[in-house]
Amino acid sequence: MEKKSLQKNLGFAAALSTVVGMVIGGGVFFKPQAVFTLTGGAPGLGMIAWIVAGIVTITAGLTAAEVSAAIPKTGGMMVYIEEIYGKKLGFLTGWMQCVLFFPATIAAISVMFGQQSAILLGQTDNQALVICLTAGVILFIGFINSFGSKTSGIIQTISTICKLIPLVLIIGFGLIKGNASSPIFTPLVGEGVSPGGVFGQLLIAILFAYDGWINVGAIAGEMKDPGKDLPKAIVGGLSLVMAVYVVINVAYLFVLPADQLAQFASPASAVAEVLFGRIGGQIITIGILISVFGCINGYLLTGPRILYTLAQQKTLPGYKFIGSLNKNDVPANATMIMAVISALYALSGQFNLLSDLSMFAVWSFYVLTFAGVIKLRKTHPNMNRPYKVPLYPFIPLVAISGGLFVVINQLFFAGMTNTLMSIGGVIVTIIGLPIYSYMAKQNDSDLNDAA
């Protein structure tokens, strides 16, 4: 029988739209609040940080794409790190994603869904309702994902359209009806704020809005000319995303000054209300909520597949239960486990803390992926590489430096709360090691018993 292979039918346009679609999510609607709070209500350093984070993301995408193109296996970063560094570190990557990155990201986005839904219903002070909406949306999406990928795909299509409508309307009307003389880059920071002291925190806050780029290299195997078109799609797509993020922040600032944006959990909704009135603002907020619903769905669609893979490898306790499929061929048990973990995280109600935790955790492993490009160039110089990162080793070194800056700053220089949260993230990640060792011994024992 002839072995089937991926069809190489994707060109530059398809790759470009894939990049943009994967990256633009809910962060752009909510993160300006954290950004302008950190700058002390001044716009300058926040705007610069949106640009710098975009540049770091472009170098990250260009670098990681070489690894994903050279290792065209399902599983993403967990598989890349396993191939480069070995099974133990590969497991630890998957473990981190399953207990920290995906649950914290899902929880963070869901917190905003719950809070904004309560505001829309006129129940701002009803914390019990906010908690129910926050945890409820996670568990509900987890449940509907058990019906199969077709249902999830429909949700993604609808939410993508709804994601673009608020972006286009806010940018268009904000630039036209807003005050074009509003300060955008001055002052740099507010009184008493140290630019160097908050810049790392700004980056980790903003990188949450740029996340999703790690998957851009996954399409390399289906591209007609990945060596030529993939770097153009990454640079073009992420540059377009960066432009959208910068322009919409300019539109925000044309309508409301930075010190006022810092007071709203959803600056986009606040700006929409100024532009379109209370009813118009509520309609825009509904569009944002549908977009956020789609983001949660996307993460609850992809994240449990990693948990399922770890269970299939028999590296988790209860792997038979976690690694089973339901009648719709969906890893429903893995999905609901991740949904429950996410809902528990969401009970904290801390959007920015949860999103910072997810970024700290995942960027620690992103750096290993970037370094893996250099390692593979040395250990496997003749490896088939459909795409090579341009300007090697400059681009990988920029990506590594940017990642290290974010991780080290969050661990040591971002304040006691962030430091404790980061240390907690490290401990939770390291707990995966004894679990891996225990399961490896169990599997060896089972093999010996079978023999």
Instruction: Say if 429 falls within a structural domain.
Output: yes
Query: What pLDDT score does 216 carry?
Result: 64
Instruction: Say if 449 falls within a structural domain.
Output: no
CATH at 79: 1.20.1740.10
Instruction: Say if 3 falls within a structural domain.
Output: no
Q: What is the DSSP letter of 146?
A: G
For residues 319 and 125, the answer to whether their CB atoms sit within 8 Å is no
Query: What pLDDT score does 74 carry?
Result: 63
Measured torsion, CA atoms of residues 383, 388, 391, 393, in degrees rounded to the nearest 10: -40
Query: What pLDDT score does 199 carry?
Result: 92
Distance CA 174, CA 55 (A): 25
Average pLDDT, the chain: 88
Instruction: Say if 450 falls within a structural domain.
Output: no
Query: What pLDDT score does 4 carry?
Result: 47
Does 210 score more than 70 pLDDT?
A: yes
Instruction: Say if 259 falls within a structural domain.
Output: yes
Instruction: Please tell me which residue, 167 or 160, carries the higher pLDDT value.
Output: 167
**Number of domains, the chain:** 1
Q: Tell me: the pLDDT tens digits for 272-317? A: 999 999 898 898 889 889 888 888 888 888 888 899 989 999 999 9
Least confident of 58-67, 212-221, 327-336, 364-373: 212-221
Instruction: Say if 120 falls within a structural domain.
Output: yes
Instruction: Say if 446 falls within a structural domain.
Output: no
**Domain span holding position 49:** 12-440
Query: What pLDDT score does 2 carry?
Result: 44
Least confident of 161-165, 178-182, 205-209, 324-328: 161-165
Query: What pLDDT score does 220 carry?
Result: 63
Instruction: Say if 286 falls within a structural domain.
Output: yes
- 296-329 as b/e, with b when 16 or more CB fall inside 10 Å? bbbbbbebbbbbbbbbebebbeebeebbeeeeee
Instruction: Please tell me which residue, 249 or 294, carries the higher pLDDT value.
Output: 249
Query: What pLDDT score does 290 carry?
Result: 87
Confidence of residue 43 (pLDDT cuts 50, 70, 90): very high
Q: How many CB atoms lie within 10 A of CB 2?
A: 4
Token readout for 412 is 């040591």
| For range 401-420, the mean pLDDT | 87
Q: Tell me: the pLDDT tens digits for 197-207? A: 899 999 999 99
Query: What pLDDT score does 3 carry?
Result: 43
Query: What pLDDT score does 85 carry?
Result: 95
DSSP for 181-225, written as a single string = TS-SS-SSS-TT--HHHHHHHHHHHHHHHHTTGGGGGGGGGGBSS
Instruction: Please tell me which residue, 401 or 19, carries the higher pLDDT value.
Output: 401
Angstrom CA distances, 324 to 61, 85, 304, 412, 443, stand at: 33, 28, 12, 41, 18
